[in-house]
Each structure stands twice: as C-alpha cells, then as structure tokens.
Structure 1
Amino acid sequence: MASAIEFGASPEGVQSLALKRANRHGLIAGATGTGKTVTLQMLAEAFAREGVNVFAADIKGDLSGCAGTDPTPPGWATARAAEINLPLTPEAAPVVFWDVYGELGHPVRTTVTEMGPVLMGRVLEATDAQAGALTIAFRIADDWIKEGKNEGLLLDINDLRAMLTYLSENAEDIGKQYGLVTPQSIAALQRKLLQLEMDGAERFFGEPAFKLEELLKPRPDGKGTIHVLASERLVQSPRLYSAFLLWLMSELWEELPEVGDQDKPKLVFFFDEAHLLFRDAPKELINKVEQVVRLIRSKGVGIYFVTQSPTDIPEIVLSQLGNRFQHALRAYTPTDQKAVRAAAQSFRANENVDVAKEIQELGVGEALVSTLDEKGAPTPVARTKIRPPNGHVGPILLADRQALMRANTAGRVYEKAIDRESAHEILSERATQAAEAVAREEEREARDKEAARSSRTTGTRSSGRTSAPRRTGGSRTTAVERQTGRVASGVFNTIVRELMRGILGTPRRRR
C-alpha cells in the first residue's frame, strides 16, 4: 500500500495527500461547475484503493459513477491524465448505496431517542420554547427507561407525538417537576411533526436502526468500500439532511475507540453542501460540530466538507481543516471579493503563486491545493491540475444500481421495518383504558338513575292513584330538570370522546 495519494500535478511536481494525515480533515471548495464533485469522486476512489472506507452524500447522483467503469474514458479525461503523467486505470470501486427513503439505496434509519432533543429541535425548526418542551419530553422518556418502562421508548414519529400529547394532557403535574410546558408549544410541535411526516421523514425514524459497523467492515481483498448516501431527495429537506449527517458524525465520535494517528484512517467522511449544516445554526450546534471535528480524528476518522466558499464554514471549524482543495471562486460582488481574500489568506504562501489573482482564473478541474505533509505541516499552495477518476464520470444506470443493491445481502437486512411496542402503543392503550373506565362509570350511573326512576314509577302505580302526584322534598325531577340532565350527559360524552382523540393523537392501532 502507498503512503500517499497522488491526486494531481503542478509546476512544482506531483501533488499528494499523506494517508497518515488524512484524518486531519479537509475542505473542497469552489463555485458551481468548477469540478468539486469530480475531485470528491477521485479522492473517494483513491482512499478505497488504499483500503480506507468512505462515506459520502451524493447530492446530484453523480457519485454513483464510482460503481461503474468506462472501458473507453472520455477524451478530456485521457487528455488530462496524459498531460499530468498520471495514467488512468479504469475500474469500478466497491460501492454500497443507502437512502433515507429506501428508493435509491438500502433504507437507513435511526430512532428518535438516538437523534436527541438538540438535533430533533433543528429538524423541526423549533423555537426556544418548543426546544424546551422537546427537552422535557426526552428527559421524561429517559426517566421512564431507567425505571424499566417501555413507554419511554421513542422509536418513531408516532412515539414522539404520543409523548408530546402526554405532556399536554399532564402539563400541570409535569410543570411542577420538570418545568413549564405550554399548550401552544406542544400544538406547534405537533403541526411540525405532521409536516415532517408529510415530507416522508417517517421512513427515517424507526427500526432496525442503522449500525455504524456497516461503515467500518473490511473487505477480503484489502480495498475499502465507498458508502454512498443517495441525497437527491433528502437535500430538499435541508434540516433533516444536515441533522442526519451530524448525527452520524456524532455517533462515530461517541462509539469508536481512541486509536490516535495511524498509517491511514479507518473512515473518511465527505459532507457535501456543508453550508446547510451551518446556515441559521444556533451557537450550541456549531460548538458541537467543532467539538466533533476536533476530537474525532483521534478515532481514525477524517471529515471533508464540500461547499462553494470557505466562508460557508465557521472559522472555529475551518481552522481544523488541514487538507484544502480550492477550486475557482467568482468575485462579482463585494461579498464575493471578501470570500476570495479569506480563501487566499488561509494558504501557506508560495512565491510562485498569487493566490488572490489565480483563484479567479482557475479552469475546470484545476485547484489551489495545500495538504499536510508527513510531519503534519501544511505544504505551500500549488496550482494543481486534478487527475480524473478511474470510475465512470456521471450517474450509473438505475438497473445497475438496483443489481448492486440486490447483491448486497448485508444491506438487505434493513429492507423490512420493525414496529415493536413503544411509547405510542403503550400510552395510547393507557389512554383508551382510562376513557373506557370513564365510559363504564357513566353507564353505571345512568343504569342506577334508570333503576331508581323505574322503582318510583312502580310504586306510584301500585298505590292506585290516578290524580297528579304531589311534589315532595325534591324526590322527583321535573321535565325541565330531566331535559337538562340529558343535555349535560351529552356534553360529558362529547368531552370524553374529544379527550380520547387528544390523548391518542392517531387512531388506535389494531393488533
């Protein structure tokens, strides 16, 4: 195995990325159409050849080309390979396809509990008050789990909906122990859950949950596997997209053991359209990302953000990215010009490269590159012509993708969803039993009243009197009083029915 990946050539010579420093993270930036996706594909294939597993979000479908091959590569690719003297070796990489919606890849799911209140709040675009209600819901669920109660299992959207309804119905008692929960916050969260469900996100929450070991499995041939997340549809829900990828990074950080700096990473994680993660993100979330990026490298994981401009990444996170591939930027506005200056200042100087000038002159497939050398120091910036990928450039055919999915028996275990007893079923059953008890009590009281009325009628008849009975101290009811009683009973019935609907949230599941 090589100690470095040769990814292109510059006037200074062949440019490479040291595998030992690949876990120090990276950035691929540039305007639309400058070659970022091809650079991403080339790096993913190169890591896989060296036995490093890769996870990458595929925004446009082009990254599926890693799984295909072009026996006769396109003319531009062969010309570039000959120009930089890095010949192509057409081959398909080992690829596994995943998809939150289960359409263009094996389903990938997690539970509401694993997502946690912070990321769930971001998915739902919760206000501070709504985020507080979510935190209380998760805290109560955790307390129930500690007590061995399955009603604390928040596996899917129905479970979270049932828990929020429970909070609403018991707000006074909950407020005394956990804090104030307002009906307005709960109602708003319920509406947002409904919208999330209508967007198809209910497929993402549930079981069987995605296992991280899927991303780390070694291959018998020593190559790495490229795990492609089909994101063409997912990115249309940017909050869910960014929350899912951040959840995955966080899980890797929390679950993987410390390994320090190895000869090569265990996994390289490409986060395309990275600006979606940080747009309108609260400070708490940005601090979480910075913490994950700073510490996850010791777990053998490298994170590479892909975006249009370095300014899309908060400075506290950007400072952690040691390997940089800067494609062309356009400076049409003062904001663009500021981004160009910021990008230029982030590179180690090279007397032969005027970064601020050349960053606007780069052609498609060219980049200003600086990587970390074997000692961990950044190399001087170099204007580099990036080598083409060895795989197919562009999306593969749907039939080819489906054939690869059928052949992957490990991924097929996620095809069938599991719905075990959890918060929704238990809280719904409890609410049903309570409502039925109220109904039975009402029926008993009605029978008692009817029996008393019948007894009085029988006594009157047996006395043989035909004249109108004389009233005595309230032992009989007037017609008006009886009518009022029937109205009150009807109102009570309506209240009971509405209470059942409020508690259940959804129709009772048939078993």
Structure 2
Amino acid sequence: MNTIESFKAHIDKGNTFKGESLILGTAMLEGKPVQSTHVKVPLKTLNRHGLISGATGTGKTKSLQVLAEQMSLHGIPTLLMDMKGDLSGMAAEGSNNKHIEWRHGEIGIPYQPERLPVELFTLTDHKGVRLRSTITEFGPTLLSKILGLNATQQGIVAVVFKYCDDQKLPLIDLNDLKKVLSFMIEEGKKEIKAEYGSISKASVSTILRKVIELEQQKADVFFGERSFDPQDLLTTTYDGKGTVSIIRLADIQDKPKLFSTFMLSLLAEVYETFPEEGDLDKPKLAIFIDEAHLVFKNASKELQEQIESIIKLIRSKGVGIFFCTQNPTDIPDAVLSQLGLKIQHALRAFTAKDRENIRKVAKNYPITEYYDIEDVLTSLGIGEAFVTALNEKGIPTPLVATLMRAPVTRMDILTEKEVNDVVKQSRLVDKYAENINRESAEELLMKKIAKAEEQAVTKENKKVSRSRTKKEESFFETMSKNTMVRQLGRTLTREITRGLLGVLGVK
C-alpha cells in the first residue's frame, strides 16, 4: 500500500461515524488536496465544545462561518458573537467564483449558495433585538466577579441582595444598585447595622467606584428590562434550518468588561434555565465567541474560574461553546483541555517568542506520522487548517491538514437596507424593544427616605409644639400668679387706704 492509499485508509477509519456528521473539507497531504477524503465532525460530539484559531488573515472567521452554517443546515440553532461585523452576511446568499469552484471541485462537494434564517441582536441602541438582563438575574456571585471584588466587598454585595430580597426591592439596573449601596452607608446605616451588622463605608465606596467604571463602558444599557429569555434562541424554520442569532458587537470592542459581562451572564443564564439533556444526537444550541481573547485577557482569576466551571458543566445541557482567537495560548489551559473540536489555521513565526508558541501549540494535537506539525503550522495557506475532533466514543480523530469548504452565505457585511429588511422580518424585535421602567429599588428607597424624613419632621413639629405649649402654659401660670399677686396687692392697698380714711373720717 503506497503512502496516499495508507493515508486515505487512515483518514477514512478515523472519520467513519454511525450518526449524522457534517463535512468541513477534504484532507491534504504534502500541501495538496487528496480527493474523496472528506474531513467530518459527528453532530453527537459538538456539545464537547471547540476552538478555531490562527493568525490574522488565515481564514479562521470563515471557518467559524462554515461551521455555523453547517450546523444551521443540520437543524442546530446557533448564536454568534460578531466582533468585526462581517458575520451578518449569513442572512444573504454567497456568490460563486473560479476559486470557489476549484476548491469545491477538489473537495468533491457542489457549491450551492444559500441564505440562512438570521436574527440580529444588539447590546446598544443599534438596530436589532435588544439584549438586557437585570441585576437580580445576574446575582451577587457573578456581579462580584465581574467587578473584581475582594472577599469583604463580595460579602457586602451579598448583603445588598439579601436586603433587597427581604424588603422586596427589585434590583433592575445599575442605578438601583448604586442607590442601595449609598443607602447602606447613609440613611439606612442604623437599619442595616441592626439587621446585618456593620458595613464599611470605605468598602462600599470602592464598590461604587467599580460600578461607575462598569457604567462608563456602557454597561448601563445592558442592565434593565425586558430581560432576554435564552429559550428564544432555540428556534428552527419550517424547513428544518436552525436560526442563526448574530450579536453585533463591533461597537464595543474597546469595552472588554461589557463584552465579558454580557458573555458570562448569557452562559450563566443558559446553564441555569436549560434542563439536563444528557447525550443528544446533536446539540440543541451552539454558541460561537469570536475574538475570545477579549474574554480572558482582562478577566480576574475568579472570573476565569467561573468561566471554566460553566464550560465544564454546560455540555450536559446540550450546548456547545466554540472559541475563535488568534492563538490557542489565549485560552486558559483548564478551558483548552475541555475543547473537543480544534480547527487550527496557520501561525506566523516572526520572533523567537512566536516559534516558542508554535512548539507549545503543536503539543496540543495528536501525534501523526503524516505531518511535521510545527512545520505545517507555518506553511498552511488561506482557508487551510489542521482539524481534529472527537469521535462518537470521545476519542480524538486523526489530525488532518484540511482544505476547508467555502461558506455558502455571503462573506461580507449586509448593507443598511438589508439590515433593515432582516430587522423588519424579526419575530423578536418588538418583544424586546419595549423598555420597561417599573418601580424598582431606586424609586422605592427614595420613597422610603422621603417618608422617613416626613415622619422625622412631623415628630420634630410635635416636639416643638409640645415644648411651645408647655412654655405657654408656664407663661400663663406665671402671669396668673403675677396677676393674683398684683390683685392681692391692690386689694390690700385699697383696704389699708379705706381703713386709714375711715380712721381719718372718724376723727
């Protein structure tokens, strides 16, 4: 058996699955496509998460697009976090050209342009479905991790939530949170101390500063109502295509805290609300996080631990998470070890540090007799990548240099008119466009403070009134006494005068 035949047998053996699978491309050997050797990923293991990585311009975002497209065509709803704005094109058909014809000819799959069912989402005021969450839904633990609080400060945040629960004060937005924190060290200091113990004013001030920092990254537009229901992501069309939900994040690239806040809250909400599913034939939802280094770069140790926990546990809910970033080293080892599918595009070795990184990356992949992994990593062309997945038994499939298929949807952004058309056809825009501003902690506390002040004024007025009455009574008593004295004096004087006159008259 020659090298090509043994290579084909090796790939076919590793890519034979009992259940449904999707095709990513065709295998390559010595830089050339090997026809009729499809590189497949079983749908059953897509809830074991994945990684798409590679240097800028190597095609990793297009691989993300291909993977999400194929999931949608197999009836799997997806959620894409679009940091650069170029994934919205999935709502429009792709266009053919000679290069795509050649590529698909080598793969052995006809190229059929399609448009997919797309919902556009936004965290800001851009066009699309508004995404919001309340402070209460976020919870004290997650909020503390996002703010990077120490143990003492976390305890104070826990007291905030407990006090609001006890007093039935809804924590909806950041204004509510700031008002409760201020109340704890000012008007409500005695009440809080009596019920929950002393609260450090310095610690509360630190928390307030961190809340304001989060607010300055426009997180105030994220916290509010109506809060988003993750169940609205689990939709398919009448012809069985999974809805592609795209969150447009191009306007918050410079706000990593807002991005990581939203991403983590969404994962936590999905984990909390989705039921346990066990092993499904295919995931019920796949979430793609582009520019994933933004999630981990500025994350505290506690926040990273929270992400790691969710990644480990969320697959049992039938959800797969896929990170897209430049280098696998952008992802913490504890998370990286949980990722079953790996699509590795080319890496560039311009410095000694780059070469060291490539050696580290090469160690993450299964050993193969057909490739010098370090060498191939630097020589892969655009739209070519190393691929390894998990088979249905959870064993890594052979590492294969792959000529990736082209996206069937547009590889570019939508025009403004096309965005308007997608938004008009949305079934969710009207539902989440309403900005509910119900009475919450801020307003209720202001009423409570006003009532307390009114009661204090009334009490003081009564006290002053009683004091005045007492003084008046004292005054009148004194005056009465003085009058009696004066009257007695006048009577005595008259009697004496009369006596004297009477004596004088007798004489």
TM-score range relative to shorter protein: 0.7 to 0.9
- 1:43: which partner in 2? 67
Q: Report what 1:248 is aligned to.
A: 266
Match of 2:354 in 1: 336
Match of 1:95 in 2: 118
- The change in CA–CA distance for 1:187 and 1:216 in structure 2 (over 3 A counts) is same
Q: Match for residue 135 of structure 2?
A: 112
1:141 aligns with 2:158: no
Which residue does 1:279 correspond to in 2? 297
Q: Say if 1:193 and 1:264 are closer, same or farther in 2 by CA, change over 3 A.
A: same
Is 2:228 the partner of 1:218? no
The alpha-carbon distance between structure 1 residues 236 and 132, as it changes in their structure 2 partners (threshold 3 A), is: farther
Counterpart pick for 2:400 among 368, 371, 382: 382
Matched, 1:396 2:414: yes
Query: Relative to structure 1, is the Cα distance of residues 176 and 437 closer, same or farther in structure 2, using a 3 angstrom cutoff?
Result: closer
Matched-pair contact (CA < 8 Å) for 1:150–1:422: no
Deviates more, 1:153-162 or 1:425-434: 153-162
Q: How does 1:198-237 map to 2 (within 5 A)?
A: 198-237=216-255
Query: Which one-letter code corresponds to 1:7 in the other structure?
Result: L
The alpha carbon displacement at 1:432 in A equals 0.8
Q: Tell me if the contact between 1:208 and 1:414 (Cα under 8 Å) persists in the aligned partners.
A: yes
Distance verdict in 2 for CA 1:354–1:24, change over 3 Å? same
Q: Is the 8 A contact 1:121 1:131 kept in 2?
A: yes
- Tell me what 2:107 maps to: 84
**Secondary structure at 2:210 match in 1:** helix
In structure 2, the gaps of 5 or more residues are 1-17, 29-33, 484-507
Aligned CA distance change for structure 1 residues 344 and 172 (closer, same or farther; 3 Å) = farther
Q: 1:64 aligns with which of 88, 108, 118?
A: 88
In 1, the alpha carbon distance for the partners of 2:162 and 2:354 equals 45
User: What is the count of residue pairs matched by the alignment?
Assistant: 457
Query: How far apart, in 2, do the equivalents of 1:449 and 1:179 lie?
Result: 36
**In structure 1, which of residues 337, 349, 353 is the aligned counterpart of residue 367 of structure 2?**
349
What amino acid does structure 1 have at the position aligned with 2:46? A
Matched, 1:154 2:171: yes
What letter is aligned with 1:95?
V
Given that 1:150 and 1:421 are in contact with CA atoms closer than 8 Å, whether structure 2 keeps it comes out as no
* Cα drift, residue 2 of structure 1: 8.1
- 1:289 matches 2:313: no
Q: 1:446: Cα distance to partner?
A: 5.5
Match of 2:446 in 1: 428
Cα offset for 1:296?
1.7
Q: Say which SS state the counterpart of residue 433 (structure 2) adopts.
A: coil
| 1:74 to partner: Cα distance | 4.8
> Partners in 1 of 2:209 and 2:302 — Cα distance?
25
2:431 maps to what in 1?
413
Give the secondary structure class of the aligned counterpart of 2:247: strand
Question: In terms of mean alpha carbon deviation, does 421-430 or 124-133 score higher?
Answer: 124-133
1:17 to 38, 41, 45: 41
> Per-residue deviation at 1:138?
1.9
Equivalent AA in structure 1 for residue 409 of structure 2: G
Preserved contact between residue 19 and residue 281 of structure 2 (Cα < 8 Å): no
Q: CA deviation at 1:417?
A: 1.1
**How far, CA to CA, are the matches of 1:307 and 1:252 in structure 2?**
23
Matching residue within 182, 186, 204 for 1:165:
182
How far did residue 418 of structure 1 move? Answer: 0.9
Structure 1's 282 and 198: CA in aligned 2 closer, same or farther, altered over 3 A? closer
Q: Do the aligned residues in 1 keep the contact of 2:214 with 2:258 (CA within 8 Å)?
A: no
Query: Partners of 2:262 and 2:68 in 1: how far apart?
Result: 20
* Deviation, structure 1 residue 214: 0.3
Per-residue CA deviation, residues 184-207 of structure 1 (Å, 9 max, x unaligned), is 222233233334334432221111
Of 391, 406, 416, which aligns to 1:373? 391
Q: Secondary structure, in 3 states, of the residue corresponding to 1:359?
A: helix
Q: For structure 1, which segment, 181-190 or 108-117, has the greater mean C-alpha deviation from structure 2 after superposition?
A: 181-190
**RMSD of the TM alignment (CA)?**
2.7
For residues 45 and 302 of structure 1, the distance between their equivalents in structure 2, rounded to whole angstroms, comes to 15
Q: Report whether the alignment pairs 1:7 with 2:31.
A: no
User: Contact conserved, 1:8 with 1:14, CA < 8 A, in 2?
Assistant: yes
Aligned equivalents of 1:336, 1:180: Cα separation in 2? 53
CA–CA distance in structure 2, aligned partners of residues 456 and 38 of structure 1: 93
Contact 1:406 / 1:412 at 8 angstroms: preserved in 2?
no
Which residue of structure 2 lines up, in the alignment, with residue 471 of structure 1? none
Q: TM-score if structure 2 supplies the norm length?
A: 0.83
Query: Does the CA-based 8 Å contact 1:2-1:50 persist in structure 2?
Result: no
1:439 to partner: Cα distance: 2.9
1:45-83 Cα deviation digits (max 9, x unpaired): 11000000001100011110110124x435543443334
Question: Is the Cα contact below 8 Å between 1:324 and 1:369 reproduced in 2?
Answer: yes
Using the TM superposition, give the Cα deviation of residue 309 of structure 1 relative to its aligned residue in structure 2, in angstroms: 1.2
Measured against aligned partners, the alpha-carbon deviations of 1:155-189 in whole angstroms (never above 9, x if no partner) come to 11122122212221344654565455221222233
Deviation sequence 1:98-141 (CA, Å, 0-9, x none):
11114132101111011122332344344554333222212333
* Larger of the two Rg values belongs to structure: 2
35-44 vs 171-180, which deviates more? 171-180
